[in-house]
Structures are given as structure tokens and as C-alpha cells.
Structure 1
Amino acid sequence: MPQDQPTFLTGDFVISAGSVLFRRVPNDSKELQVCLIHTPRNSWLLPKGRKDAGESMEAAAIRETYEETGYVCELVPVRMPTRATAPGDGRNTVTIRDNIIEPIAIATRDVVRGTVKKFIWWFIARVKEGHGEKVEGTQMANESYESHFFDIGDALTRLSFAADRDIVTLAVQIVEDTEKKLERDVIF
């Protein structure tokens, strides 16, 4: 007999989007770096935030990443395993798809313990070509974050949550697999 699954009605959840923001080490086109934000509570996090009404998840990820980090960015089409189907293909199997922009993870967190959940859709992003300089004054009035790029190993050590470390590890793997398949960099 099927069991009931958790259901979250409007007012019981928050929808957020964020990204693993990559760039190459300046003046060294090979080594990847990840942007983390440092909060006043001494946490190191990936950039994310609430989706605005009527906004797509992709647009929310780009906007929130820009607001919290100060870096103009774009989502990266990658090669990744997904259950997203091609038009007309209704199979429910994991398929490797090329050149797609889909969430690489969806995380849940408690906003109000036991009553309100936050669902975070995570994407892969890169600093937009020609926009390598940080823009100041992009955060909301109630935000006070510092953003910094770190080498992958350092970023993984600093991140405050194991789930964020898992997301970065997966994002790095997807970027490396995509670049190997395409035989070119997708992170500039």
C-alpha cells in the first residue's frame, strides 16, 4: 500500500536558488576557484536566496549570486546526469545530457523548525566573460556578506555545511567532465 509523502502547502515553504560560482585563477587559466560568502555569524556559505514572485529559478540563481557576491555571472550549460527528459521522451531514468542548464542539487533546510522548509535549487555558474571585477553595493540593506574566491580544496575546508561541500564536489566533477568531453574550458 502506498504511503503518504510529505506535502508542503503554500506558506509552509520557501523557494530559494543559488549557485556554485566558478572562475579560473587570474593569470592562470587552469586552476578553478569557487566563490564563498562569509556571514557576520562566521559561516562560510554558497551564495543563494529567495526566489521573487514570478521569477524563474534560473533567474533567481543568477540574481542572488550577483547580489550576494558582487560578481556578474551566468549559468553554465554542462554535461550531467539528469532525470530531465528530452521533449517526447517520458522515460524515468538517469541520462547523461549535454549542454543543459538544470539544477545539480536541491537541498532542504528548516526555516522554522518543523513547520517551514526552505528548498534550495543549486546551479553551476561562472563569472561572465569581461566582468571579472567585483561590483560593490549589490547586497540588500539587511545583508552584510563578504565574498571571496578560493581554490577548490580551501573552499571545501572552509564551507560550514557538509551539504555545501557535497554540492561543490559534484559541481567540480560536472565541470571537469564537461570540459573533458568538449576538449575546452567552460569556466573562463
Structure 2
Amino acid sequence: MSTSISPSTQYSASNFVVSAGCVLFRKREGALELCIIHDRKRDQWVLPKGRKDCGESTAEAAVRETFEETGYRCELLPCRMATRAPRPGVNTLDRVEVIDNITEPFSVVIWQQGEQGVKLVWWFIGRATSDDKVLGTQAAWEEYDSHFVEAEEACTRLKYQSEMDTAREAIQIVRDGNMGGL
């Protein structure tokens, strides 16, 4: 038996959790705004995300969790972005291509959780489909207040560096050619 030329780590299903979320945007009076949530229990600002349910795709989980945690109905925003995923039906070498109008994850964060293993968070870019906030969408244990904030200001409020970096990357993707989709 030979070993791979690339280092790898394997986790059984009991040692990883798949989560997904959206960096949720809207455009208001020409300004780009991002939705962040204030976790009242921990007194910290975070991006909306949560665990994927069995049988659910990561994209479906991102939209559902974003709605549940923010109260804003949303959809994935088709964007122009660099990706290593091939175009549908095209068999190419593994390389980076810039593709228009895709709703692929633009980032993944891997959080080491000690004995529990890892948490994989797949990040998508979303847009609010309504300015109307729906109340009562959170789980019983969640105590979140969601707020749309000017995009750059929202980044400065986020608690975790990985979420700041994620939000800034999403802002750049949106500003580089997707403002018309908002």
C-alpha cells in the first residue's frame, strides 16, 4: 500500500460537523449593507451560519440557517468568482478559472474543535429578497438580533478574524461585478 503524495487527515462522521452560512447583502440608497447578528448571550457579533441537516445540501443549509438566524428571506447571489470547480459538463484540468453567475461556496473555514474533531463552515454569498424581517425564526436557545450595517463597518464589529476575512472576501467579490444583482 502506498501513501498519498499530499498530506491528508481523515475524520469519521462523529468527528466533524458540516455547517453553512451566507454573507447576506442588500443595497440601500446606493450603499452596500451586510447583515450581522448580535449574540446577546455572548455579547459578540457574528455572521449567520449553522449545521447542515441530514439530506440537505450545503447551499440549502446556508439559505435556511441565514433565514432562521436573521429573520430575512434570502437567496444565493449569482456572482463572478474564481473557483477550481469545473463548469458543468466540462472535464478540465484542476485549475483556477473565473466563472460568471455561479452560486458556489466562495470560502470554507475549518475550525479545530479539539476532541470533537473539526467544524467545516461553507460560506456562500446571499442577497435579501425582502426588507421585511420575519419574527420567531430562531431556535429556542438562540438569542440573536440581526442588523444590516454598512459593509465595511460590519466587518469591524465581527468577533472572529476568520469571519472578518470571510466578509471582506465576499464584499470584494460583490464589488468586483455583482452590484447589479443586488
5+ residue gaps in structure 1?
none
Instruction: State the match for 1:42 in structure 2.
Output: 43
TM-fit CA distance, 1:110: 3.1
1:70-109 equivalence runs, <5 A: 70-86=71-87, 87-109=89-111
| Alpha-carbon distance in 1 for matches of 2:73, 2:118 | 29
Identity among equivalent positions (%) equals: 44
TM-fit CA distance, 1:152: 1.5
Instruction: State the match for 2:22 in structure 1.
Output: 19
**Segments ≥4 residues shifted beyond 4 Å:** none
Alignment coverage as a number of residue pairs: 177
Instruction: State the match for 1:10 in structure 2.
Output: 13
TM-fit CA distance, 1:132: 1.0
| Alpha-carbon distance in 1 for matches of 2:18, 2:148 | 26
- Secondary structure at the aligned position of 1:79 is classed as strand
TM-fit CA distance, 1:125: 0.2
| Alpha-carbon distance in 2 for matches of 1:97, 1:3 | 27
| Alpha-carbon distance in 2 for matches of 1:161, 1:140 | 22
TM-fit CA distance, 1:34: 0.5
| Alpha-carbon distance in 2 for matches of 1:146, 1:115 | 28
Question: In 2 relative to 1, CA 5–137 (structure 1 residues): closer, same or farther, beyond 3 Å?
Answer: same
TM-score of the pair, normalised by structure 1: 0.90
TM-fit CA distance, 1:103: 0.3
2:52 matches 1:51: yes
| Alpha-carbon distance in 1 for matches of 2:173, 2:7 | 34
What CA deviation, in whole Å up to 9, does each residue of 1:129-180 have, x standing for no partner?
xx2111100001111111111112211110001111111111111111123x
| Alpha-carbon distance in 1 for matches of 2:68, 2:169 | 24
User: What letter is aligned with 1:88?
Assistant: V
- Secondary structure at the aligned position of 1:178 is classed as coil
| Alpha-carbon distance in 1 for matches of 2:6, 2:151 | 41
Question: In 2 relative to 1, CA 3–99 (structure 1 residues): closer, same or farther, beyond 3 Å?
Answer: closer
- Secondary structure at the aligned position of 1:173 is classed as helix
| Alpha-carbon distance in 2 for matches of 1:115, 1:52 | 18
| Alpha-carbon distance in 2 for matches of 1:78, 1:178 | 8
